[in-house]
Chain A
Amino acid sequence: MNQLATHQFTIKANDKLGSLERILRVVRHRGAHIQQMQMQSIDNHLFILNLTFTTERALSSLQSQIGKLEDVIAIE
């Protein structure tokens, strides 16, 4: 059985009620499995989320689904 490759996103977002949950929901719903994550709040206004995950689907699709969330400022 082939092991799926891991991928990483670094996401910068507004630290508002529900914004972290909203990102994680999209990650799950769009078919990725989180292996590791780290979130750092910046002055309670922003956060940086580092996600390591596996997925069988196109990365670009997941990236654009996360990127269009209102609170997401940048994803790379």
Chain B
Amino acid sequence: MLGTQWIVKTLKEKGITTVFGYPGGQIMPLYDALYDGGIEHVLCRHEQGAAMAAIGYARATGKIGVCIATSGPGATNIITGLADALIDSVPVIAITGQVPTTLIGTDAFQEVDVLGLSLACTKHSYLIDDATQLPNTLQEAFNLANSGRPGPILIDIPKDIQLAEHDYQTYLTPTTIKTPSDNAQLYPISSDEITLAKQMICQAKKPMLYIGGGVGLSNAIAEMREFMNLTQIPSVSTLKGLGVADLNNPYYLGLIGMHGAKAANLAVQECDLLIALGVRFDDRVTGKLNEFAKHAKVIHIDIDQSEINKLRQSHLGLQGDIKHVLPMLHQTVSIKDWHERIKQLKAQHPTRYDHPGEAIYAPALLKRISERRPVNSVITTDVGQHQMWTAQHMSFNHPQNFITSSGLGTMGFGLPAAIGAQMSRPEDMVICVSGDGSFMMNVQELTTIKRKKLPVKIVLIDNQRLGMVRQWQELFFNERYSETNLSDNPDFLMLAKAFDIPGQMISKKAEIEPALDNLFNSSSAYLLHVCIDELENVWPLVPPGAANENMLDKSNKE
């Protein structure tokens, strides 16, 4: 059997039915094996698109996403996707072709040191220099991608290794790498630690749950909601934690951080116990770090030991799988006054959608999309103002239904991520909310939508500006609008039409409902091009370097 045939066999055994990629010289043997190998290959039109589609596939399902690229520029083009997957803890396996082993290090055509490039943007990576390593390396890669804290794994495979003939089965040995089902044994929590945590929760007068992406990754949605329901401890969420909380919980305050809800930020600043679950204390969440929840003791639960005490010293750090730890922490609390304060904060800082004039107000539009879309639809976004408006004004019932580039903030993410999500969940509606800056960064993937006849819906919020940067230039750079005017954008409807994607443009409030009828009733892909005022900003906002209680909103920025 050829090495490439073993790769395809392994992918199928691991349940991989779909891969994303782009062929090229040094990966041609693998593409030959894929030709009739029984795995669906999605040809993206740029390797970056393939990597981000694999991320979308993984994030929409929890399965491992696989992307494939050739050596040299093919491999360099997936680097951004791997970096995105690393910081957002997404299980992705990237397979790259490499020049033959005898040519490595000779500056051969399309040769680059892929293993070297991968070091900073993968959980682990391999260069296979001996064909007999192939079976165990592939097994390890699959186990690693989804074990502990998930992340991207790269396997660089020289062309001669791909073509090497062996009885590969004979080289396969039992792996010692653990899988997610081993987490309870791998990360045991002592009874003393549980007792201490429960004491801290019991003694707190103002406890707060700080919910991060790790809760969803731990598949602990049900455990989290049960804990919230039983304890009625108030809660806030990071961008990646959106979708975890039961939206009907009266003490859930929503998004925290730079563009979080004011009530959420103020409540965290007042709390006396912060229970941090699968979070990184990211600077976009904490604002000025040493003023973040400065009155609070911290219990930090995370499967990754290196996150505990990395930025905020915890009073109790528990390395463990949240799914297993949380049920052990059920504790009755008496926090009636705190509940009243939470209600007061929510009442004092409601979300407002009143907006003068005929022009479309993006937050109100997104709220309507949220209300009208099918309940299990997937929303992907790009990065910028539209991303924050989506996080603020749309509601999510599961983190797999909101796929956004959180840690890396990768413009160009939304469209390929939507392709991956749609491939993994063909029965569900997938809506990509994008901005005119981000959309152009991977616009070539419209061809992939056409090729696979995917019914992805695109809502393009167009202010003819690089909106978030423009906003910061207005607020913090004396209105010096350096290179943020995108008024030379193409005609987006004509562009979509070139890919056989229908659509319409709207610019007035009165056009919203009929346009959403068209969007949701379309059986094919559809582009809703939404023109908005370039001066609209995302509010509220914690200015850079400020503490979260010093949020600005539209009324107090002047």
Contacts and interface: CB of A to CB of B under 8 A. Distances in A.
Nearest to B304: A68
Interface string B116-145: 100110011111010000000000000010
Contacts of A29: 120
Interface string A54-74: 000010110011011111000
Interface stretch (B229-237, B254-262, B305-313): B305-313
A64 B308 CA distance: 9
B16 interface: no
Given A17-B115, A18-B119, A29-B120, A68 B127 contact: no
Contacts of A7: none
Given A68-B304, A70-B124, A70-B144, A21 B309 contact: no
Interface in B91-129: 115-116, 119-120, 123-127, 129
B127 A17 contact: yes
B307 to A, nearest CB: 9
B309 A60 contact: yes
Name A's interface SS: helix
A17 B104 CA distance: 13
Contacts of A17: 115, 126-127, 129
Interface hub of B116, B124, B129, B306 (most chain A Cβ within 10 A): B306
Given A18-B115, A18-B116, A21-B116, A70 B309 contact: no
B176 to A, nearest CB: 11
Contact of A18 (B127, B304, B310): B127
A50 B531 CA distance: 60
Given A17-B129, A18-B119, A22-B119, A67 B124 contact: no
6 contacts: A18-B127, A58-B309, A67-B306, A68-B304, A68-B305, A70-B123
Interface of B: 115-116, 119-120, 123-127, 129, 144, 304-306, 308-310
A-B pairs with lowest CB-CB distance, top 6: A64-B306, A70-B124, A64-B305, A65-B306, A18-B115, A17-B127
